[in-house]
Chain A
Amino acid sequence: MADVMKLQFEVNDGDFTRAGETSSKVKKTLTQLGFSPIVIRKVAIAMYEGEINMVIHANGGTIDVEIYSEKILIVMQDKGPGIADIEKAMQAGFSTADSKVRELGFGAGMGLPNMKKYSDEMEITTEIGKGTCVKLTINVKE
């Protein structure tokens, strides 16, 4: 019997038109698997924020999703510049997005704070010049 389901998505650099696509696919999968709406909402928002971050700051990357009956693990690995000051990046409203991105309505500085808000565990590893990896865990409570 399958006890884990793995999904992988490529996120392209700078492609705003496709942002939200992976979140939408994962939502559909989780719905079919019978997860509760609350869990699905948390995953959808956290993933959407992550996806947008990878598009605007980090030259794209990959998102791996592992689905277990008791938790959902999301690993987002990007090829971006890395985060110089994680503490600052975690503050609501702080953003390094340029004006072009802001004009598009993104870069409000809520990406990482929202990912934290909608996940149960969050782990960031980052290396300047190499990229950032955000690991999110969303627990499925009965």
Chain B
Amino acid sequence: METYWHSVTLNKDLCKGCTHCLKLCPTQAIRVQGGKAKILKERCIDCGECIRVCPYHAKKGVADSLDMLKNFKHNVALVAPAFYGQFSRTEDINVILSALLDLGFDDVFEVARGAQVISQKTKELLKSGELMKPAISSACPAVLRLIAIKFPNLIPNVVPLKSPMEISAEQARCEAIEKTGFKPCEIGIFFISPCAAKATFVKGNYTVKKSEVDGVIPIKDICIEMSRSVNKMAEEDIKNLRVSGRSGVLWATSGGEAEATDAQKHIAVDEIHNIIKLFEDIEDGKMDDIDYVEALACPGGCVGGPLTTENSFSARSKIQRMCKNLEDNSQPFSDEINMYWDEAIVYRPIMNLDSDINIAMQKMNEIEELYNEFPKLDCGSCGSPSCLALAEDIVRGYAKETDCIFKLREKVSALARDMLELESQNTLFVNKKTEDK
């Protein structure tokens, strides 16, 4: 199966080979081999859970740097609303946007604007009755990847709209061309990202033919410089750059997007393991009366992204305070922007054991037999996330039975017994020889 570029990567030098990420990974995409973690690329959905949990900071979200700005004549920072909650000294969106200009950007564009446009379109689609119930949001790229490998039955439920980031990038380029007169390729559009999954999305061109985003800058990489700029900003340097409205900014936190759809019955679920549980229920037909499901892979929504710096609860409360007095004004996008996906999500059946069902069944039986012999402690010492996963790995040919330390101990004791027995036989023989003399 073809694999794709991943933002989430491992720094081998820092990895201690412990089991934190192994056990938390929602798609069982990590194994520990030879004392180091290994990411199974075809299974990884770039949710960033491992980045968050690693005590040694061995997992990181690879993206782009500000050096890329020099490749373009005019650079626009595409700002995720989660960015607004990252600064302890200010709750003024205009201060934050103005500070981005200090970092070398020529202009800013708020993704919150795109969020408002997508909310409006989703509202229309929900009203039209064209969507399969419950309609599932397509905003979180980690969730889209999750659906593609684990929940193929839910693919028809996903609202086939591009993400706010993607349409905002398109609109930002249009506006920049109008303002500057530069060619499209002379304009750089950089997404200021709370998560690794967005970087993967942009490089992998998922659901779009080619992403309009030229680079992805992790929030955490620019936070120090930003804070410096925010803290020393003089009153006269604060430009009136904010044009987005309340409902768009609230997309930064769990519940904001669902609220903005006006759906009668909606669910906002956050954190990837919670999402898996809810999706299982949707698959079983338990949620057929729900109109809309917002699903964000990070705890608390995008403010909880693995590439953010501020505590997600604090960021959430800041965003809510900012929004209290914010009007819900909006600025329309160009009619020429196509809000629908260029390409649908395709099921990637990575979990199956064999293309022949009968052989797969045979393998399944072997897994069952192996599993029954394991201690079922799910300790992770073997390098697989659970005893069942080890049994699967063995049958797939990636691991061996003695990777289980309990099995190894059994084998060693058996060997020791055999050796003792052999040794005693040998003594008999030696004794016999001496007797013969």
Contacts and interface: CB of A to CB of B under 8 A. Distances in A.
Given A3-B358, A40-B153, A69-B358, A48 B352 contact: no
Contacts of A67: 361
A24 B280 contact: yes
B410 interface: no
A32 B153 contact: no
Contact of B284 (A3, A34, A44): A44
B284 A45 contact: yes
A27 B282 CA distance: 13
B353 interface: yes
Contact of B353 (A4, A23, A34, A45): A34
A14 to B, nearest CB: 19
Interface residues of A, number: 27
A60 to B, nearest CB: 19
A1 B360 contact: no
A2 interface: yes
Interface in B269-283: 280-281, 283
A20 B282 CA distance: 11
B286 interface: yes
A33 B361 contact: yes
Contact of B364 (A24, A29, A40, A45): A29
Contact of A20 (B280, B354, B361, B364): B280
Contacts of B352: 31-34
Given A34-B352, A37-B152, A20 B358 contact: no
Contact of B285 (A5, A29, A48): A48
Interface in A1-26: 1-5, 20, 23-24
Interface string B348-369: 0101111101111110110000
Contacts of A34: 349, 352-355, 357, 360
A132 to B, nearest CB: 21
A2 B360 CA distance: 9
Contacts of B280: 20, 24, 27
Most buried by A among B152, B285, B362: B285
A28 B360 CA distance: 13
A33 B357 contact: yes
Contacts of B284: 20, 23, 44-45, 48
Contact of A2 (B355, B361, B392): B361
A33 B283 contact: no
Nearest to B353: A32
Nearest to A38: B153
B347 interface: yes
Range of interface residues on B (Cβ < 8 Å): 20 to 34
A1 B359 contact: yes
Majority secondary structure, B binding face: helix
A114 interface: yes
B104 to A, nearest CB: 47
Contacts of A37: 152-153, 155, 347
Given A69-B357, A69-B358, A32 B285 contact: no
A41 interface: yes
Contacts of B353: 32-34
B153 A5 contact: no
Nearest to A31: B351
A114 to B, nearest CB: 7
Contacts of B281: 20
B3 to A, nearest CB: 19
A87 B249 CA distance: 54
Contact of A33 (B286, B360, B392): B360
A120 to B, nearest CB: 17
B89 to A, nearest CB: 47
A13 B390 CA distance: 33
Given A31-B351, A31-B352, A34-B355, A3 B153 contact: no
B418 to A, nearest CB: 34
A28 B351 CA distance: 9
Nearest to A69: B357
A44 B359 contact: no
A110 to B, nearest CB: 9
A40 B352 CA distance: 13
Interface string B278-300: 00110111100000000000000
Nearest to B285: A45
A35 B352 CA distance: 8
A3 B361 contact: yes
Contacts of B359: 1
A12 B78 CA distance: 54
Contacts of A28: 351
Contact of A5 (B283, B347, B351, B365): B365
B360 A32 contact: yes
Contacts of A32: 351-353, 360, 364, 392
Given A29-B364, A69-B358, 5 more contacts: A32-B353, A34-B352, A48-B286, A69-B361, A114-B285
6 contacts: A3-B361, A20-B284, A32-B353, A32-B364, A41-B153, A45-B283
Interface of A: 1-5, 20, 23-24, 27-29, 31-35, 37-38, 40-41, 44-45, 48-49, 67, 69, 114
